[in-house]
Amino acid sequence: MLSLTYEYKAMPTKEQIQQIEHTLTVCRKVWNFALRERKDWLNSRKCPINACSIVSEYITPVDVPYPNYYEQANSLTRAKAEFPELKTVNAQVLQQVLRKLETAFVDMSRKKMGFPRFKNKYRMRSFVYPQLGKGQLLKGNQIKLPQIGWMEYVKSREVPDGFKVKQVRVVRKASGYFLMLTLECDVNVPDTVASGHPRGIDLGLDKFAATSDGELIERPRFLSTLHRKLKLLQRRLKNKQKGSNNR
């Protein structure tokens, strides 16, 4: 399987911009609520009950399981009955928010990353459509997105033959909205065949590179070579008459 990511400038209408901003707002609320739920659970169990502040800490019952991705995904489904706003955004988009939060907690424990932070409207800048169905997604310079419809974009380059759109990320930047298309092609990428002769390469300053076989590669002197050529052309230009055909 071969994957590529292409970036395009989106050209949404005013109604589509409102839907994009609404989706970002709902995603931000889901992120903050899920993060708050996890923090409350962790804070209620990191110290004895007689030393826990009842003013600043929320005490959760003992039988409440840790709110991991699967627990929060089920809670999100049940919450749609109480909060109709959640139904206005694609369900898979909201699930990706919870998956991203789960990844942040895994990275915190395994890779010693920082604790996930709450997001304001300036920090939540993108959302992902992990699946887009099997219908027609691209038509000319338009792409079809759930809840948004057909949206125009600057087709700066064509999608390569044989590649299909796997997922789409909508990103808000200072210069506008952009689409990050993840393309996949079902091909077998051959593994690199070892030559049987390993070689180490060390980059340096005096020599460009030195191999473990003792081979020295000279440093290319692009600037000095072109500088001499530039000086020669400037001397020739100086001796020519201004406005002549030879200038």
The model's pLDDT over 19-66, given as tens digits with 9 standing for 90+, comes to: 999 999 999 999 999 999 999 888 877 766 666 566 666 677 778 888
Task: Tell me if 216 is assigned to some domain.
Answer: yes
What sign for the dihedral angle of Cα 203, 204, 209, 211?
negative
Q: Do 158 and 81 fall within a single domain?
A: yes
CB 151 within 8 A of CB 143: yes
Give the range of the structural domain holding residue 162, as residue numbers without chain letter. 2-185
Task: Tell me if 247 is assigned to some domain.
Answer: no
The H or E element spanning position 237 is helix 222-238
Task: Tell me if 43 is assigned to some domain.
Answer: yes
In this model, does residue 124 exceed pLDDT 90?
yes
Q: Do 21 and 88 fall within a single domain?
A: yes
Mean pLDDT of the chain: 87
CB 9 within 8 A of CB 171: no
Quick: pLDDT tens for 156-170. 999 888 888 999 999
Q: In this predicted structure, which of 3-12, 27-36, 72-81, 125-134 has the lowest mean pLDDT?
A: 125-134
From 141, 157, 185, give the residue that closes a domain: 185
Q: Do 16 and 63 fall within a single domain?
A: yes
Quick: pLDDT tens for 212-225. 888 888 887 777 77
Q: Do 232 and 144 fall within a single domain?
A: no
CB 194 within 8 A of CB 11: no
- Alpha-carbon distance values, 150 to 44, 138, 146, 170 (Å): 47, 9, 9, 14
More confident of the two residues 1 and 78: 78
Task: Tell me if 191 is assigned to some domain.
Answer: no
φ, ψ of residue 208 to 5 degrees: the values are: -65, -45
Tell me what pLDDT residue 93 has. 95
pLDDT > 90 in the chain, percent = 49
Q: Do 137 and 174 fall within a single domain?
A: yes
Tokens of 71: 């627990």
Q: Do 213 and 177 fall within a single domain?
A: no
Q: Do 162 and 211 fall within a single domain?
A: no
Task: Tell me if 162 is assigned to some domain.
Answer: yes
The H or E element spanning position 97 is helix 91-110
Q: Do 216 and 114 fall within a single domain?
A: no
Q: Do 23 and 117 fall within a single domain?
A: yes
Q: Do 27 and 99 fall within a single domain?
A: yes
Task: Tell me if 79 is assigned to some domain.
Answer: yes
Tell me what pLDDT residue 48 has. 64
Q: Do 97 and 60 fall within a single domain?
A: yes
Q: Do 144 and 84 fall within a single domain?
A: yes
Task: Tell me if 244 is assigned to some domain.
Answer: no
Instruction: Please tell me the total count of domains within the chain.
Output: 2
Task: Tell me if 178 is assigned to some domain.
Answer: yes
